[in-house]
């Protein structure tokens, strides 16, 4: 076996907005349970299998605090169990004599899959995701990437709230996993000049940007400015081979079609068949055909990685670093065969002579180059900030600014009222809930969904709902109605009780 020069890193970004207690269908908790069953359960199974083979440094796994909160939440855990049982029943219904033969066969396979998921969940997941992830981190199978609470678009955030969200997010990961991440996946890969200083102050040593932020030269990580914080760029030539805005493996005719439902059972029994084929004309899913496509795409991806590492190493005159980065939910939720492809790729790359490692491994092995000044950027359309700051979402930008100003002013007032000169104020549940609702208001998901016209009404509803919660509690504080403020904070907390360790006293002072 010929050793390929350099290092390959797979980075997965796991994120959904806070969905618990905020609707069920078509947008709401169903989104969480679909992603959990189709992506998170299979991914955990793959990583545990490979960890048992003592494979190390396989994946750099970003888990946002808001996803961690939901995967550990007792309410979400109970409802996930019911969702899996319902999936099993729907699959059983598809096996009845009244169903077409192709659907009966599909239902039998789906029933076996749902049964396995239920068994996995009952045995491994009933105490949440954190114990499982901690095992993988302890074993060195994955490197954990963290992020700020509630996934805000950081460049547009008030500096005080930006610092608070980042530090609280890292602390949240430390409490759940007994590991404070050394690196982060910045929400939307968004960067503004100077943010590297925030990262350094918070103990973050590296972060992800999209390839164009480094002008496409992603062969090495780059220290940003005069500091030591390293920016790693996604290699678009490799990443887009799997999935891009226009093409990628999941669109292959043999794979299961995401958009075509059997409306009686809610299952997805068709294959893609063709990009221009109407749902009613899609062919039945054929597992054997899909298996052959997976193997072909594994072989193709390994070839692309080997060629890219070889070419980039020759270009820069030293071993290069290639990073492929994706949303975790691509694997399973959007692309049913994705977890199988992922496991086979993680076996095939080392067999082909490719060294696989994490971002931490890259730093330790010196895969860094000359310092660089990064432009304002993101991984959104245009690779700039337009998705989160453009004219289409100008109202949300204004809403965020007003709500943040209200929150900071109110929390400062509460601390002034309860603090003796020079003393730390006692913890204030009202102040905590104000910041909790504010962070949910400024989640980057809402402008993204509006800009992409993806459940835009739901996104606007959620942004305004959390803004209303912030303002309602703050108004009671401003008018001196302390008891009313406490009742309101308690009421909103019943729906939005995530991040229980959030402590408003840690908000940076003006």
pLDDT tens per residue across span 232-253: 999 999 999 999 988 999 999 9
Q: List strands edge to edge, sheet with 321-327.
A: 222-223, 230-233, 206-209, 183-184, 142-146, 59-63, 7-14, 321-327
Among 382, 404, 427, residue at a domain's last position: 382
| Whether residue 331 is found in the same domain as residue 237 | yes
Examine residue 1 and state whether it is found in any structural domain, yes or no.
Answer: no
What CATH number does residue 53 fall under? Answer: 3.20.110.10
Do the Cβ atoms of 72 and 128 come closer than 8 Å? yes
* Residues whose CB falls within 8 Å of the CB of residue 106, separated by 6 or more in sequence, listed in order: 94, 267, 269, 284, 285
Dist. CA 84–CA 91, nearest whole Å: 11
| Whether residue 451 is found in the same domain as residue 367 | no
Burial class (CB within 10 angstroms; exposed 0-12, middle 13-18, buried 19+) of 71: buried
* Residues whose CB falls within 8 Å of the CB of residue 459, separated by 6 or more in sequence, listed in order: 445, 446, 447, 448, 449, 450
| Whether residue 175 is found in the same domain as residue 73 | yes
Identify the pLDDT of residue 214: 96
Identify the pLDDT of residue 378: 97
| Whether residue 278 is found in the same domain as residue 425 | no
pLDDT-based confidence at 418, cuts 50/70/90? Answer: confident
Identify the pLDDT of residue 421: 58
207: containing domain: 7-382
Identify the pLDDT of residue 217: 96
| 3-state helix/strand/coil string of 383-452 | HCCHHHHCHHHHHHHHHHHHHHHHHHHHHHHHHHHHCCCCCCCCCCHHHHHHHHHHHHHCECHHHHHHHC
| Whether residue 373 is found in the same domain as residue 399 | no
- H or E element that contains 210: none
Examine residue 347 and state whether it is found in any structural domain, yes or no.
Answer: yes
Number of domains in the chain: 2
Examine residue 372 and state whether it is found in any structural domain, yes or no.
Answer: yes
Examine residue 2 and state whether it is found in any structural domain, yes or no.
Answer: no
Identify the pLDDT of residue 420: 66
| Whether residue 91 is found in the same domain as residue 200 | yes
| Whether residue 365 is found in the same domain as residue 501 | no
| Whether residue 345 is found in the same domain as residue 401 | no
Among 382, 407, 434, residue at a domain's last position: 382
Identify the pLDDT of residue 426: 87
| Whether residue 286 is found in the same domain as residue 209 | yes
Examine residue 243 and state whether it is found in any structural domain, yes or no.
Answer: yes
| Whether residue 162 is found in the same domain as residue 80 | yes
Identify the pLDDT of residue 98: 72
**Is a pLDDT exceeding 70 seen at residue 497?**
yes
| Whether residue 395 is found in the same domain as residue 288 | no
pLDDT in tens, 333-378: 999 999 999 999 999 999 999 999 999 999 999 999 999 999 999 9
Active site residues: 188, 327
Examine residue 12 and state whether it is found in any structural domain, yes or no.
Answer: yes
Examine residue 34 and state whether it is found in any structural domain, yes or no.
Answer: yes
Which tokens hold the place of 342? Answer: 């992922």
Examine residue 482 and state whether it is found in any structural domain, yes or no.
Answer: yes
Among 382, 409, 432, residue at a domain's last position: 382
What CATH number does residue 396 fall under? Answer: 1.20.1430.10
| Whether residue 182 is found in the same domain as residue 325 | yes
């Amino acid at each position: 076996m010929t050793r390929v020069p350099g290092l390959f890193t797979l980075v997965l970004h796991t994120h959904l907005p806070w969905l618990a207690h905020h609707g069920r269908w078509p947008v709401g908790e169903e989104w969480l349970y679909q992603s959990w069953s189709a992506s998170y359960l299979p991914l955990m199974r793959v990583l545990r299998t490979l960890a048992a083979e003592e494979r190390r440094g396989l994946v750099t796994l970003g888990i946002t605090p808001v996803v961690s909160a939901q995967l550990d939440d007792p309410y979400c855990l109970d409802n996930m169990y019911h969702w899996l049982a319902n999936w099993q029943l729907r699959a059983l219904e598809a096996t009845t004599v009244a169903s077409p033969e192709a659907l009966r066969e599909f239902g039998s396979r789906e029933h076996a899959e749902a049964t396995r998921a239920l068994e996995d969940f009952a045995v491994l997941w009933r105490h949440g995701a954190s114990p499982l992830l901690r095992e993988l981190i302890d074993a060195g199978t994955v490197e954990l990437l963290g992020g700020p609470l509630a996934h805000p678009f950081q460049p547009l955030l008030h500096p005080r709230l930006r610092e608070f969200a980042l530090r609280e997010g890292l602390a949240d990961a430390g409490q759940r996993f007994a590991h404070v991440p050394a690196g982060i996946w910045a929400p939307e890969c968004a960067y503004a000049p100077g943010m590297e200083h925030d990262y350094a102050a918070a103990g973050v040593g590296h972060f992800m940007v999209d390839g164009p932020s480094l002008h496409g030269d992603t062969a090495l990580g780059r220290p940003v400015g005069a500091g030591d914080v390293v920016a790693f760029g996604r290699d678009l030539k490799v990443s887009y081979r799997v999935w891009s805005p226009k093409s990628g493996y999941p669109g292959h005719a043999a794979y299961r079609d995401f958009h075509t439902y059997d409306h009686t059972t809610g299952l997805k029994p068709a294959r893609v068949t063709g990009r221009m084929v109407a749902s009613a004309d899609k062919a039945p899913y054929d597992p054997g055909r899909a298996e052959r496509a997976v193997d072909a795409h594994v072989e193709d991806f390994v070839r692309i990685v080997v060629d890219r590492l070889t070419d980039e190493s020759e270009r820069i005159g030293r071993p290069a670093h290639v990073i492929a980065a994706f949303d975790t939910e691509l694997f399973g939720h959007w692309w049913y065969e994705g977890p199988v492809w992922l496991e086979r790729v993680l076996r095939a790359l080392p067999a082909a002579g490719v060294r696989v490692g994490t971002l931490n491994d890259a730093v330790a092995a010196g895969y860094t180059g000359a310092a660089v000044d990064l432009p304002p950027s993101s991984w959104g359309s245009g690779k700039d900030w337009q998705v989160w700051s453009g004219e289409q979402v100008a109202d949300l930008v204004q809403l965020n600014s007003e709500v943040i100003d209200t929150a900071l002013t109110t929390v400062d007032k509460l601390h002034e009222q309860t603090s003796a000169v020079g003393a730390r104020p006692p913890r204030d549940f009202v102040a905590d809930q104000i910041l909790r609702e504010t962070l949910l208001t400024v989640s980057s998901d809402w402008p993204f969904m509006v800009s992409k016209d993806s459940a835009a009404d739901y996104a606007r509803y959620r942004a305004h709902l959390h803004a209303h919660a912030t303002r309602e509690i703050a108004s009671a504080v401003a008018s001196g109605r302390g008891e009313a403020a406490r009742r309101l904070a308690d009421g909103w907390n019943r729906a939005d009780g995530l991040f229980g360790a959030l402590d408003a006293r840690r908000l940076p002072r003006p």
